[in-house]
Amino acid sequence: MSEAEGSSSADSSQPAGTSPAEAQPPAGPMRQQRRRRRGTRFLLLFVVPLLVVLVAAGFYLHGGRYIATENAYVKADKVLIGTEVAGRIAEVLVRENQQVEPGQPLLRLDPLPFRIALARAEAQLAQVGTELRVLKASYHEKQAALEMARTRHDFARREQRRRADLRKRDFVSDASFDDARQALDLARQQVIVDERDLARIAESLGGGPDVAIEEHPHHIAAIAERDRARLDLERVELRAPLAGIVAHVPVAGQHAAPGLAALALVANDRYWVEANLTETDLTHVRPGQPVEVRIDTYPGRRLRGSVEAISPATGAEFALIPPQNATGNWVKIAQRVPVRIRFDEAHELPALRSGLSAWIEIDTGHRRRLLGYAWPDGR
């Protein structure tokens, strides 16, 4: 094809009344589009990945210092108070959820059986004293009987000797001599019996008549029984061992027994938070580190505290049935360790209740390092 034909065909493809320069698109907008594409490509290939790396590095550096958990609860001293003697509750002196002070009476048992027991113990003590005094009199009486038996023994011995001399001269019969010898043997045996009886009475007196009645074991046991009865009478009134709020208050007429809780007392003078942290979070946790506490009941308040102590064992070790990891199929489970957090003493606390849910964050002070750079000290 000749150039004339090509030009003629090209001219024929253009619209009528349009020049060749006007038919081509302008060069300025195309360059702007190429620049935008290059900028978008640079942003997606370099800037965005760099920002992701920086954010990830920031999270890594910032994440090693603060340990937070929602597995935390407010705790307080709880005392299950029970009577030390068994009896019927005659009077309840407090109401449910009432504030009590140390030593304040809580309830009172029926004192009549304990008064009767005290009277019986006092009578037993008096009877023991009388028996010991009678025993002392018996000792002195047995002493006199022993002296009499020894006198008879001496007379029988002299009589036996006289009859022995007369027998040699054939002045007495053999029967008379045998009677004298028998009387001597009986007197000797009577002395032995009285001596042993006197020793028995001395042992019953705790060593002899000179031992005081108050030092005798029977008298001491009777005094102890009287004191126990007197103590039981004092224990019919149950008192608060510490300040707090009473709960599960019984009603009059119920039977109280030792070892069974009659009511509960929750101390309200000192609260703390027990946070259960996983074992992997305890690497840098130490006592004394500052803690921020938020109670779910007061979501807008931030309380300050510090780590007071870390439990020496995991919570599973104190369970009623601890896990037996050496038997059966074993599955690894991250354990939790109770951490005790105390509130700052200068911090004014809101009204708290034992068992409230909380959120805590511990500032361990540990700062991770990445390529020699650490997160700046501060939040």
User: Is 245 in contact with 266 (CB distance < 8 Å)?
Assistant: yes
Alpha-carbon distance of 105 to 92, in angstroms, equals 9
Two structure tokens written together for 165:
């001399």
In a domain, 55, yes or no: no
Whether residues 227 and 89 fall in one domain: no
Helix (H, G, I), strand (E, B) or coil at 108: strand
Two structure tokens written together for 14:
């253009």
Q: Which among 216, 232, 248 is the end of a domain?
A: 232
In a domain, 261, yes or no: no
Residues 6 or more apart whose CB falls under 8 angstroms from that of 258 comprise 82, 83, 84, 85, 86
Residues 6 or more apart whose CB falls under 8 angstroms from that of 364 comprise 64, 65, 66, 67, 284, 285, 286, 289
Q: Which among 206, 223, 256 is the end of a domain?
A: 256
**Following DSSP, what letter does each residue of 329-346 receive, concatenated?**
-------EEEEEEEEPTT
Q: Give the β-pairing of 244-247 and 105-109.
A: unpaired
Whether residues 106 and 240 fall in one domain: yes
For 53, which DSSP code?
H
Two structure tokens written together for 106:
């809580």
In a domain, 70, yes or no: yes
Residues 6 or more apart whose CB falls under 8 angstroms from that of 132 comprise 205, 213, 216, 218, 219
Per-residue pLDDT of the chain (379 residues; tens, 9 = 90+): 444 444 444 444 444 444 554 555 556 777 777 777 777 877 777 777 888 877 776 666 666 688 899 999 999 999 999 999 999 999 999 999 999 999 999 999 999 999 999 999 999 999 988 888 888 888 888 888 888 888 888 888 888 888 787 777 777 777 877 778 888 888 888 888 888 888 887 887 777 777 788 888 888 899 999 999 999 999 999 999 999 999 999 999 899 999 888 999 999 888 999 999 999 899 889 999 999 999 999 988 999 999 999 999 998 888 888 888 887 788 888 899 999 999 997 678 888 999 999 999 999 887 766 665 555 665 5
Burial of 172 per CB tally in 10 Å (0-12, 13-18, 19+) = middle
User: Is 160 in contact with 184 (CB distance < 8 Å)?
Assistant: yes
In a domain, 127, yes or no: yes
Domain that holds residue 104: 83-110+236-256
Tokens 């807008």 belong to residue: 300
Say whether pTM exceeds 0.85: no
Whether residues 202 and 140 fall in one domain: yes
Write down the H helix ranges in the chain: 3-13, 20-23, 27-42, 48-63, 112-168, 174-204, 217-234
Residues 6 or more apart whose CB falls under 8 angstroms from that of 266 comprise 76, 77, 78, 79, 244, 245, 247, 354
For 47, which DSSP code?
I
In a domain, 166, yes or no: yes
In a domain, 46, yes or no: no
Please choose, from the candidates 247, 239, 238, 242, the residue with its C-alpha nearest in 3D space to the C-alpha of residue 354: 247
The CA angle 148-151-153, to the nearest 5 degrees, is 110
Burial of 279 per CB tally in 10 Å (0-12, 13-18, 19+) = exposed
Whether residues 177 and 192 fall in one domain: yes
Whether residues 150 and 172 fall in one domain: yes
Whether residues 133 and 194 fall in one domain: yes
Total number of domains constituting the chain? 3
CATH number of the structural domain spanning residue 294: 2.40.30.170
Whether residues 246 and 298 fall in one domain: no
CATH number of the structural domain spanning residue 88: 2.40.50.100
Whether residues 277 and 220 fall in one domain: no
Whether residues 153 and 222 fall in one domain: yes
In a domain, 151, yes or no: yes
Whether residues 282 and 198 fall in one domain: no
Whether residues 226 and 133 fall in one domain: yes
In a domain, 26, yes or no: no
**Following DSSP, what letter does each residue of 274-301 receive, concatenated?**
EEEEEGGG-SS--TT-EEEEEETTEEEE
Alpha-carbon distance of 240 to 235, in angstroms, equals 12
Whether residues 103 and 242 fall in one domain: yes
Alpha-carbon distance of 88 to 326, in angstroms, equals 50
